[in-house]
Amino acid sequence: MQSLKIIVLGTRGFPGIQGGIEKHCEELFPRLVKLSCQVTVITRKPYVDRSVMHSLWQGVEFIPIWAPKRKNIETIFHTFLGIVLARLKSPDILHIHGIGPSIFVPFARIINLKVVMTDHGPDYNRQKWGPLGKAILRVGELFGVKFAHKVIAVSKLISDIIKDKHCRNDVVFIPNGVTLPLIIPPGDSLKKFGLAPRQYIFTACRFVPEKGLHDLVSAFSRIENPQFKLVIAGDADHESNYSRRIKESARRIDGIILTGSISGLQLQELYSNAGLFVLPSYYEGLPIALLEALSYGLPVLVSDIPANREIILPEVRYFHLGDIDELSKKMVLLFENGISETETNQQKQMLLNNYNWDKIAQETLEVYKDCLKSSKR
């Protein structure tokens, strides 16, 4: 088959932009370029570094278009304009990521685009959305699942939700992935934040309620004379009362360090030298941050939500969602106990077997080919 022309919507952009969909696309689409696809990503101007706005990055073309940097309307405006632009460029496949942008899948079908939709999870469960936002996301899920030519789910849990709620049985399960990283020795980043290797607990996420940062900060505050610091990497895409409250609370507690939004070598150095990674989320699709922590061989502690349990870990690595006392006690216990070489090796083998980006790219390409072969739904 000749080279496929793919246009991508649903991501703010990449590289180095925080967010699960952004990381997913950053890893996936350069690999699809290597598999002879022509990939164009329609990005959102407010988020993309000007130096890469109109350039190729690892073979991926970026086309930045306007989007209002406002939580409630950003995706709607950007996706509509992106689909109009996609029609002008006549791709073989329009690949839409997320249920929010998928509200326009019927429109894409009407103007004769072949649509693959990747469902990254029921975002209407995120605490940041009000009733109207949740309703729009539910419609987006319905329209995406009902009208896309092919649907990909990034976890078995999401696949089951689609099958049970929408009776669509041809969903393709293709998980998020991870690449085993180079371990970065202690250097400038640790010095910048006043850290010593293996003497801090680490997390990396956006400052939104469903990530459970309020529980993490509260749990750390209950530890008497902690022998470690708590490092929180990330920020809010849209400043909110919640993100401001987290920052204010963290700054009042000795031993908590907020790095802001970081990426690249800085982020890798903090992962490489942490003593424990914690993810107290109330909601996840399939958590890339957890996969990354495991790829660095870190001991981890995560909430017992279904998405986290889908990544099989020893039972001691989970705590009951929202149980701040248990979270606090286990932070101390697991930090002190570290991780055995056997468990580290098991983690890495599990990642290689189940979450390999090269395999994920090949499976995605097969979905594209099936989409073009299949008759219209």
Per-residue pLDDT tens digits for 71-80: 778 999 999 9
- Top pLDDT among 323 and 125 is at 323
CA distances to 187, 224, 257, 340 from 329, rounded to whole Å, are 30, 11, 20, 20
Contact of 151 with 331, CB cutoff 8 Å: no
Q: CATH 3.40.50.2000 spans which residues of the chain?
A: 5-177+356-373, 188-353
Residues 369, 357: Cα–Cα separation, whole Å: 18
- Reading the block at residue 41, the tokens are 């990503």
Please report which confidence band the pLDDT of residue 322 belongs to, taking 50, 70 and 90 as the band edges: very high
The pLDDT value given to residue 51: 60
Helix, strand, or coil (residue 180): coil
Residues 109, 94: Cα–Cα separation, whole Å: 10
- Reading the block at residue 212, the tokens are 């459970």
Contact of 238 with 70, CB cutoff 8 Å: yes
Q: What is the DSSP letter of 8?
A: E
Contact of 139 with 120, CB cutoff 8 Å: no
Helix, strand, or coil (residue 38): strand
Query: In percent, how much of the chain has pLDDT > 70?
Result: 97
Give me the phi and psi of 41, to 5 degrees please. -105, 125
| Residue entry with tokens 């180079």 | 182
- Residue 363 confidence (pLDDT) above 50: yes
Per-residue pLDDT tens digits for 51-63: 655 578 899 999 9
- Residue 46 confidence (pLDDT) above 90: no
The pLDDT value given to residue 377: 47
Question: Fold for domain 188-353?
Answer: Rossmann fold (3.40.50)
Q: Name 348's Cβ contacts closer than 8 Å, sequence gap at least 6.
A: 180, 294, 295, 297
Residues 178, 318: Cα–Cα separation, whole Å: 21
Mean model confidence pLDDT for the chain: 93
Per-residue pLDDT tens digits for 143-187: 999 999 999 999 999 999 999 999 999 999 999 999 889 999 999
Please report which confidence band the pLDDT of residue 45 belongs to, taking 50, 70 and 90 as the band edges: confident
pTM of the model: 0.85
Residues 54, 17: Cα–Cα separation, whole Å: 16
Helix, strand, or coil (residue 31): helix
Mean pLDDT, rounded, for 362-370:
97
Residues 86, 93: Cα–Cα separation, whole Å: 9
Q: State in words which class domain 5-177+356-373 has.
A: alpha beta
